[in-house]
Amino acid sequence: MSATENTPLPKAQPPVKFTGLKLSAPKKYAAGVPALISTAKHIIEETEPGRGFKTLMRLNQKKGVDCPGCAWPDPDDHRSALGEYCENGAKAIAEELDKKRADAQFFKQNSVYELSLLSDYEIGKKGRLEEPMVLYKGEQYYTPISWDNAFELIGKELNKLNHPDEAVFYTSGRTSNEAAFLYQLFVRQFGTNNLPDCSNMCHESSGVALGETTGIGKGSVKLEDFYETELIIILGQNPGTNHPRMMSALQKAKKNGATIISVNPLQEAGLISFINPQHPLEMLGSGTTLSDEYLQVKINGDLPLFKALIKLLYEKEQTNPGSVFDLDFINNKTKGYQDLIESIKEYDLEELAVGSGISLSEIRKVAEIIASKKKIIACWAMGLTQHKNSVKTIAEIVNLLLLKGSIAKPGAGTCPVRGHSNVQGDRTMGIYEKPSDSFLNNLEKVFHFKAPRKHGYDTVDAIKAMERGKAHVFIGMGGNFLSATPDTEYTAKALRNCRLTVHVSTKPNRSHFVHGEVALILPCLARTDKDIQASGPQFVTVENSMGVVHSSEGTLEPKSNKLKSECAIVAGMAKATLKSETTVNWDELVSNYDNIRDVIEKTIPGFDNYNQRARIPEGFYLPNCAREGTFSSIGGAALLTVNDWEEIKLESNQFILMTIRTHDQFNTTIYGLHDRYRGIYNERRVLMMNKNDMQKHGLNERDNVNIISHFNGEKRVAERFLVIPYNIPEQCLATYFPEANVLVPIDSYADRSQTPTSKSVIVTVERL
């Protein structure tokens, strides 16, 4: 699609405009009274308060509705009557219950170009979608289309392709288990494994490292392990904003005597102290101190830090064998010990300390703490997974846990915290471009068809295929593909290259305005909406970070009778595309989601008696060979690995930049313009820089700069950001996405997982 004289191309990037920056000192505690005020504000201002507060009382309760925010688990036992949600869970609910409507009239009055001039925040506040909308070739305005015509259009375009691999089927982590299973079934019946998902951009590096070292690409701990652990190490994660209820678990762990060590380039309020709104008396105080040690590593300094820790632990172990390492566990449950130790000996402690940005004395102090502990949990998020060497870093952390025998026992293990409510469930359901043969064999047996065996495109490869004209149809199940992915202008070109782009969404987002020749928006029911099918009201299931599968049922009357459930939308696309080719009775499956769960039970191990167990109020745990200590899928022994480290060399005028979220943001959904904990208000185009670096580069607070990334001789520019002094290590910078995603090169991704390196981009800063 190309711009014409009269119709410029819709904007792929958020508008370059300032909104009135206000600064204050960063907070030293998270939650407390401000969290209650913010919760009430979002519910009262954006929803019909009655519906809003009623929904909050069902949120994350047994037989309630699952929070569409992150994937932090709910307590297996007692759920708080005061509320089992956090401030950001409430914001997610306010988004779904938005009382405004982005209906046909709205699209009639606003062209896609005009809408693309708005910020992602403004677009998201336009309200819930009401009915299917189509944008025909050369048109500027979306117009209504019937569901049947929409499905027919999709079927026609897909069947026009020369090969099923010319289509891409993306999934965002909000999709329920039932819808995800149907989606992959439709796509594989269509004949491709092109099933990229948001996991590719977030915890793929965790999946690769954990799969190889512990036999399963998921974490091994349960929530209750936090209550009996001795030590929690939190790396590259900001729970105060991205997994807020985790702070309650950390508080309880502290009360039970645990030590907490945080490793993060930024001093995050949610790692410093927590005022628990569930304890009214606490509101009067300064809360519970969380971190006992805070290692403010430089960006990408985690691998050398853990190498230094292992080297120091080994040296201490040498003085008294068995006093530091769990030799029994190492000898009976692992392999690779000798190679690891030989490799560690090669490294120089001083060099490792410099590489981490932490003084050797601090590292020695932390090594002493670790040496004395037997039950250790390591938690991490994007701060570890979005670097070129992420798989190695995570494998090194696993090395430390294995040497300490700190896995497969109470109070110990791995904990990659998922950022999207069902991203883990989607992968379990088969949303994966590299499906295992055993999964495809089962699928063929249950559905009597030949499944495609050639691995498909992950997110990076899918963007490239569309940009190079090798893929012509993009279908997105949820999410905001353009704003979530790297190299914004490149991705925009890829989407514009398509003959058809389709987005299943609840609200407008920028991906709707940067589109293929023809575009469709298919409005689905939200998680809180009542889902009625032929057999009556339906519930869905999701899987949290700890591998608990549990139900979620929406009870709110949908505000439009032209919405469909994700499952019904998939069935509609499948029938219109596969026609008589299909071996699946889609209507029967959708008529009662028990039918979907029955076929899931037949296809995927661990879902025995699925329908019965899905009705257990607290849900059920899936098998986990790392938690069980069998490591069965990798031959019965966990793997100690050798992970070489090389320092990222920077020129004196270069920085390493990480893209992060504000406190008013969930992935690409912008709830508001404030980043309260960091003391940044009403502005998203800010660049956090160390005071000494500002001085060195002659920059003052609020100076206007361009950020330029440098990769393989290529330059990418993010225009106009306000420099602000911030407590961040020298030669390290932080700013927000999606505004900075334009800087992340499509070819810059983690080895082996292909996760875009959004946390380590080499940049320079140009003063305007």
Q: What residue ranges bind ligand SF4 (CB under 6 A)?
A: 60, 67, 69-70, 72, 85-86, 88-89, 243-245
| Among the listed residues 748, 637, 706, 31, the one whose alpha carbon sits nearest the alpha carbon of residue 337 | 637
- Strand ordering across the sheet containing 548-552: 540-543, 548-552, 620-621
Closer to ligand SF4 by CB, 72 or 329: give it.
72
State the nearest-atom distance from the C-beta of 29 to ligand SF4, in Å: 17
Q: Which is nearer to ligand SF4, 31 or 573 (CB)?
A: 31
Least distance to ligand SF4 from the beta carbon of 245, Å?
4
680 - beta bridge partners? 23, 675
Burial status of residue 101 (CB atoms within 10 A of its CB: 0-12, 13-18, 19 or more): middle
Nearest approach, Cβ of residue 667 and ligand SF4 (Å): 11
To the nearest whole angstrom, how small is the minimum distance from the Cβ of residue 108 to ligand SF4?
35
Q: How many residues can be counted in the chain?
A: 768
Query: Residue 208 or 234: which CB sits closer to ligand SF4?
Result: 234
Residue 363: enclosing H or E segment and its boundaries? Answer: helix 360-371
Q: 274 or 457, CB closer to ligand SF4?
A: 274
- Residues 132 and 522 sit within 8 Å (Cβ to Cβ): yes
For the CB of residue 369, give the shortest distance to ligand SF4 in the complex, in Å: 27
Comparing CB distances to ligand SF4, the nearer of 420 and 564 is 420
The H or E element spanning position 423 is helix 423-428
Distance CA 269, CA 727 (A): 12
Sequence-ordered strand ranges (E) for 617-666: 620-621, 638-639, 655-660, 665-666
In angstroms, what is the minimal distance from the CB of 574 to ligand SF4? 31
How many of the other CB atoms lie within 10 Å of CB of 239?
A: 26
Contact 340, 642 (CB under 8 A): yes
Q: Kindly state the smallest distance separating residue 203's Cβ from ligand SF4, in Å.
A: 15
Asked if 135 contacts 513 with a C-beta cutoff of 8 angstroms, the reply is no
Nearest residue to 765 (alpha-carbon basis) of 714, 711, 698: 698
Residue whose CB is nearest to ligand SF4 in the complex, by number: 89
Of residues 77, 752, 2, the one with CA closest to residue 389: 752
**Least distance from ligand SF4 to the Cβ atom of residue 524, Å:** 20
| Closest CB 617 distance from ligand SF4, rounded Å | 17
For residues 141 and 139, what is the distance between their CA atoms, to the nearest angstrom? 6
What's the token pair of residue 635? 């031959």
Asked whether the beta carbons of 460 and 756 are under 8 A apart, the reply is yes
Q: Are 300 and 648 contacting, i.e. CB atoms less than 8 angstroms apart?
A: yes
Nearest distance from C-beta of residue 88 to ligand SF4, angstroms: 5
Say how many Å lie between the first and final Cα of the chain, rounded: 33
In angstroms, give the least distance from the CB of 694 to ligand SF4: 34
What is the rounded distance in angstroms from the CA atom of residue 510 to the CA atom of residue 110?
A: 13
Task: Return the SS3 of 191.
Answer: coil
Query: Residue 588 belongs to what H/E stretch?
Result: helix 586-591
Strand-pair category, 288-289 with 273-275: antiparallel
Which residue, 72 or 151, is less far from ligand SF4 as judged by CB? 72
Query: How would you list the strands of the sheet with 293-295, edge to edge?
Result: 293-295, 259-263, 231-235, 376-380, 413-416
Of 243 and 254, the one with the shorter C-beta distance to ligand SF4 is 243
Taking alpha carbons only, the member of 732, 724, 729 closest to residue 680 is 724
- Rounded to a whole number of angstroms, the minimum distance from the CB of residue 85 to ligand SF4 is 4
For ligand SF4, the closer CB: 244 or 452: 244
Nearer to ligand SF4, 85 or 274 (CB): 85
Measuring CA to CA, which residue among 422, 425, 431 is closest to residue 186? 431
- DSSP assignments along 38-64, one per residue: HHHHHHHHHS-HHHHHHHHHHBTSTTS
Q: How far is the CB of 91 from ligand SF4 (least distance, A)?
A: 8
**CA–CA distance, 388 with 470 (Å, rounded to integer):** 26
Q: In the complex with ligand SF4, which residue's Cβ is closer, 388 or 550?
A: 550
Q: How far is the CB of 240 from ligand SF4 (least distance, A)?
A: 10
- Cβ distance 694 to 765 under 8 Å? no
Closer residue to ligand SF4 in complex, CB, 79/335 = 79
- With 0-12 / 13-18 / 19 or more C-beta atoms within 10 angstroms meaning exposed / middle / buried, residue 630 is middle
Between 212 and 426, whose beta carbon lies closer to ligand SF4?
Answer: 426
DSSP for 253-302, written as a single string: HHHTT-EEEEE-SS--HHHHEEE-TTSGGGGGS--EE--SEEE-PPTT-H
Q: Tell me if 640 sits within 8 A of 336, measured CB to CB.
A: yes
**CB of residue 73 vs ligand SF4: minimum separation in angstroms?**
8
Shortest distance in whole angstroms from residue 31 CB to ligand SF4: 11
Q: Considering the complex, what minimum distance in angstroms separates the CB of residue 719 from ligand SF4?
A: 32
Closer CB to ligand SF4, 61 or 214, in the complex: 61
Q: How many CB atoms lie within 10 A of CB 703?
A: 18
Kindly tell me which of 89 and 456 has the beta carbon lying closer to ligand SF4.
89
Query: Is the CB of 390 or the CB of 552 nearer to ligand SF4?
Result: 552
Any bridge partners for residue 169, and if so which?
Answer: 475
CB-wise, 70 or 750, nearer to ligand SF4? 70
Distance of CA 233 to the CA centre of its chain: 20
Query: Cβ closer to ligand SF4: 16 or 57?
Result: 57
* Residues 538/532, Cβ–Cβ less than 8 Å: yes
Half-sphere exposure of 64 (CA within 13 A, CB side): 19
Question: What radius of gyration, in Å, describes the C-alpha atoms of the chain?
Answer: 25
**CB nearer to ligand SF4: pick between 195 and 542:** 542
